Each structure stands twice: as structure tokens, then as C-alpha cells.
Amino acid sequence: MDDDGSQSITEVRKRKFAYQIGKDVTDRNGAVADSYFENYSGNRRYEDIFQAAFNSKYLVDLINAVWGAQAPYKLLDCGSANGLTLKQFDRLGVEAWGIENNAYIHSKTPVEWRRRNLLGDVRKMPFTDGSFDFIYETSLPYLPEEEIDQAIKEMFRVCRAGIVFHGTATDMTEEVIEDYELFAGLQTFWTFAEWSDAFVRNGFQFAVSDSSLLDEIWRIEQEADADDWNWYPNKESMRFSFFSKR
């Protein structure tokens, strides 16, 4: 409850989606339960929903707009499941690697991507400093709050240019939280602004400050989701998802 007696958006959303909370959370090495991947969205498995849910061109277009980067470059998918994203990035000329801490989904990595999709934890990664130009991040909200800073510091260490935060925030639209059951497996429930505070206190800087750049990434978002709901609730929230190392 806020000082004025009103409920924060996080409290409102947690109440509305209480049925999702605690689902697929385990304390086994901090990994989500295997069942998380069997019921990824609408009772469908991660593999079955992947093509419809993941759009590498959209992410590559955003990276190009924000940092002016063109493939080839190296990218790390933090929370890469069975490595299906790597193949999609590869088709666009991006050398993508992955790190995933759930052994069950990781064991389903196709043979040709096993060398680049590692079983490991974003809190301590087996990569040297500055190994990747960019990080595509989807794993942080599955960690407990007290471990987020350690994980972001580790991402800062292995990253050279910037990070795209694509994890769940409590102020996303209700439609998207409901459709994808985005609160299942989560341990940290923060708004976009709270996530950006965490990136900034661990060394990153906002990558989008200019309003024409914000217009451009909002246009990319609208085009990608033309016949669907938006991932971001509004243009302003997109400022809180792109961070540069320097």
C-alpha cells in the first residue's frame, strides 16, 4: 500500500493474477520447474509456441535502431531454454550463444546448437569479460530479489555494448500477462522503472534518451505486433528496456 492508501500497480496486478503466482517456482538451484516449459502459454509447450512467440527480426531491428549495430555481432541470450532462439538469430547473421539453468529444457537443445547453448546460471557465467556485443535478457525476474544485483553485475561484465531487457514487468498490459501467464515461475515482481533502477545501479546507462529514437523503436514495436497486443504498455516504457555499457 502506498502512503496515500492507494495500491501500487504491482499490488493490483499481483492480486489480479494471483492464480499464476507460485506456479512453477522451485528452489532447486533457483531454476524454474520443468512443468513451466510444458505449459508455457495456453497449455502449450515452449517448443510449440516458440515460432509464434519469438521474433528475432524484431530484436535485431531494435538493436540496430538503438545502437546502430549491424550483423555480424555476438549476442548472448540470458535464459535461452533449448536454444531455439540461436538458430533464429543465426539466420540474420548474428552469432548467438545461450545460457540456461533448467537442465530439462536445456537437454532438448538440438545437436547443432549444443556448443553454443550452455547449461549454466546467469549469476555466474563461464565467459571472459566483454565476450558479447549484446545481451538479450529474459531470465532476471525468475531470480529472487536479493540475487538480481549479482546477476546484472555479471551481465555487465560479459557485455561489451548493451543489453535488451525483455523480462516481465508488473506494469505490462493485463492482456499480455494473462495470455502468456507471465507471472508463472517469477520470484521478482518489479515495474519497468524498478528494473531500470537495478540496471543503472549496477553500471549500465539508459541507451534511449532522444525522443526521435524513442519514436523509431515504438514504430518497430507497433509493426511487429500489428495484429496482436503490444509487449510494451506504452512508448515511454520502452526507455526502460535498453541499457548501454558506456
User: Is residue 216 within 8 Å of 65, Cβ to Cβ?
Assistant: yes
| Nearer of residues 68 and 119 to ligand SAM, judged by Cβ | 119
For ligand SAM, the binding residues (CB under 6 A) are 30-32, 54, 77, 79-81, 85, 99-102, 105, 121-123, 138-139, 142-143
Q: How far is the CB of 144 from ligand SAM (least distance, A)?
A: 10
Among candidate residues 79, 81, 82, the one with its CA nearest the CA of residue 154: 79
Which contiguous run of DSSP H or E holds residue 48?
Answer: helix 46-53
SS (H, E, C) 68-115: CCCCCCEEEEECCCCCHHHHHHHHCCCEEEEEECCHHHHCCCCHHHCC
Q: How far is the CB of 103 from ligand SAM (least distance, A)?
A: 10
User: Is residue 77 within 8 Å of 85, Cβ to Cβ?
Assistant: yes
Q: How far is the CB of 180 from ligand SAM (least distance, A)?
A: 9
Among candidate residues 141, 229, 142, the one with its CA nearest the CA of residue 191: 141
| Nearer of residues 180 and 204 to ligand SAM, judged by Cβ | 180
Q: Tell me the residue number closest to ligand SAM, measured at CB.
A: 79
Distance separating alpha carbons of residues 99 and 238, to the nearest angstrom = 25
| Nearer of residues 52 and 205 to ligand SAM, judged by Cβ | 52
| Nearer of residues 40 and 243 to ligand SAM, judged by Cβ | 40
DSSP letters, 152-199, are HHHHHHHEEEEEEE-S--TTS-HHHHHHHTTTTT-S----HHHHHHHH
Q: How far is the CB of 212 from ligand SAM (least distance, A)?
A: 28
Q: How far is the CB of 7 from ligand SAM (least distance, A)?
A: 26
| Nearer of residues 66 and 184 to ligand SAM, judged by Cβ | 184
| Nearer of residues 109 and 139 to ligand SAM, judged by Cβ | 139
Rounded to 5 degrees, φ, ψ at 235 are: -60, -45
Q: How far is the CB of 219 from ligand SAM (least distance, A)?
A: 22
Q: Encode burial over 123-143: b for 16+ CB neighbours within 10 A, e otherwise.
A: bebebeeeebbbbbbbbbbbb
| Nearer of residues 81 and 217 to ligand SAM, judged by Cβ | 81
Q: How far is the CB of 114 from ligand SAM (least distance, A)?
A: 16
